[in-house]
Structure 1
Amino acid sequence: MKVAVIGGGGREHALAVTLAKSPSVEKLYALPGSDAMAAVAQCVPVGVEDLSGIAAFCEKEGVDLVVVGPEVPLTEGLADVCQAKGIAVFGPNKAAAQMEGSKVFAKNLMKKYNVPTAAYASFTDGAAAKDYITAQGAPIVVKADGLAAGKGVVVAQTVDEALAAVDAIMEDRIFGESGGRIVIEECMVGEEASLLAFVDGKTIVPMISAQDHKRIFDGDKGPNTGGMGAYAPAPVMTPELTRTVYDTILVPVVKGLAAEGITYQGCLYAGLMITADGPKVVEFNCRFGDPETQAVLPLLDGDLAQIMLACAKGTLTADMVHWKQASACCVIMASKGYPESSHKGDVISGLDSVAPDVQVFHSGTKVVDGQYVTNGGRVLGVTALGATLQEAIDQAYANVRRISFDGQQVRQDIGAKGLRHLGK
């Protein structure tokens, strides 16, 4: 079949690399793709927000399946536009994508269908939000309602910090129009984990668990980022916990959406907090995570294109999805100044010295005069597999050390929490 991957970041590079290995894929496109993705796909200069342009290209070329990477085109309705032309899409329609596009929508749905999550209130009035914060006390969590590239959350340790967050989001609009409405939540205590699932509208098949590392510095210090690394599977997510998440979170959400007249098809990402009271939802995403994808997909033992097509057609079965008996570790190499800014144009050396069994996914690079240079905040994701988590971590960092560019930022503790769970 002909498949088109929408996007050009590290997540999409991982999707393209995995899809290129699918026996059923005869032609792979990337819109717009990247210089790195050109090794496995034909890149087409159509932007991710050009919904009609994407649909027109896919119709003209006879694309059988569109795989949407980023959240913005999903929340804008790309699936609806393509489906109207008879093209199958792996990714939820506009109504279903509200699970990520509006935190208020997601929280209200969870409340209605008794899905465990943090206590919350939503506000469009800054003064009322501040009164609520003052009454609740700290620590407390302030979130922009809409999309904010994974950064629209402030975990405030003091009331003053929370009040300042309200001003920054609602008055200064540091996250743009996403801050016109905010959600204020109780600060849950526990360990975070991610569980992604393939969904065809009714059938839900969880992937292996993962754990992201959001903060820029070791020990979960410093500002939030889009993610500085991930590993899979995450030992904190035991088989019993995974079953609990399936029963109390994934199934009620998909059924709840269906009861509201919304069919969810694609990847449903549950960001979880493992609390003393059991797993609770931190947030939902309507697509593959970044960088979780770079750790999870290399462990897939099956035909990703067929799995995705089954999700789009409502024919998914659990026996289509199998996983390698191994662990994966993805370490992000970020540019100077990230996450406040990004430095572009720094020459990247050492890519040709990486071990052949280690995958380097390109998040923010481009080729200039025959050399890869930095072109974004998160630059590379170095992913290694191992028979054990320790082996995967060691291999990933050994190859990170072979790559260099000016001002690079790398966390040194990706996977350390997992090792602690394993008693290492």
Structure 2
Amino acid sequence: MSTILVTGARLLGREVADLLVRDGRIAEVGRVTPARGVPTLDADGLVALPGLVDLHTHLREPGREDAETIESGSAAAAAGGFTAVFAMANTDPVTDTAEAAEHVLDLGRTCGVVDVVPVGAVTKGLQGEQLAELGLMARSRARVRVFSDDGRCVADGRIMRRALEYLRPFDGVVSQHAQDPRLADSSACCHEGEVSGRLGLPSWPGVAEEAIVARDVMLARHTGSRVHVAHVSSAGTVEVIRWAKAQGIAVTAEVAPHHLALTTDLLVGYDPVYKVNPPLRPGEDVEALRAGLVDGTLDAVATDHAPHARHDKEHAFPDAAFGMLGLETALAVVSEVLVRPGRLDWADVARVLSVAPARIGRLAGHGRPLAVGEPANLTLVDPDRVVTVDAAASRSRSRNNPWHGRTLTGAVHTTILRGRVTHSLDPAARSHRTEVAQ
């Protein structure tokens, strides 16, 4: 294993300290005198955070390697400061068996750039009718703890109750794509309101999300199990979650960067890059989401990174695939819309992009304090670096990037996974990465 000295970093944006990393762990914190021959990474002006963790990514492999592979998605994740990502189950074949989960785990380990954590399907084939192999996946080498039919709602309340009851002994959690199919069917693609009426697009009212979340938090209370709400998009959902937490119900929730920053008015040009599920909402919903993240009602930021090949995305708006890229820009978006205005500090960023996601996913070794003995999973951020997003420069295989051409402040400088530099803007650090990989 390697040794590397990170000098002059601002830990969580606060005190300045050096971090000596040895054998994949933090060996010293404070003023460290470099030993001869130890590679040094100058972090003057950089903020050190625990490695970022994404609860919600679509890596498309197996089945849609034309859009993304675990290798390309891992590279994008490392560039975005992530040291671990949870890979959603809507692959082909679906991750609904222990063997499928272990296959995803092994592909991620082969790449070795981030920890790829399989998410298991709640129901067989994502069909919402029969439970998948929940227990076998939980007991497998993959140790699956997060289960989701994401892209499809577990709409049958009886099936949802059984899943929650079954997963309780494993401390598992259902991550719910909250979309009542009777209130917003598969064709719904625009927030219900003036814009959807003017554009003639099938509407997706906020209540279609809120009704499922209200049902699920009551089921979580009834079963004593954990439920997680994926990609919260409406102000009403924030209210439901806030109420449920006040009752002591075991509910957690995430919000995607695009729902924190983009609004439904972007659809007026029918640009399919802005087609996402749940849809972009009006400004009042965006503000409620930001406030909910600031006050802790919403626990985490998760990208819902959803790459698509051009032949799936470049269609008339109603026919285009749902989804946006998010891994490489998530940190910068949070920095732009919440850190720069002073609503979050860098310790808060660590909470919502590392600590809480790791806790929700029961992922040991990530989201840990920057302290002696802890795994050296680190993200170094240049808080003042201004970046203009270029979709063509993405590590992803896909180009459905809603941030293209936008200027964001705050950029990932270096990502370190268990002492190994997996991404860096510093040529010396990149050289170190090559040495370690040999």
TM-score range for the pair, normalised by the shorter chain length: 0.3 to 0.5
Relative to the length of structure 2, the TM-score reads 0.33
Relative to the length of structure 1, the TM-score reads 0.34
Of the two structures, which has the highest relative contact order with CA contacts closer than 8 Å and spacing of 6 or more? 2
If each structure's strand is expressed as a fraction of its own residues, which one has the higher value? 1
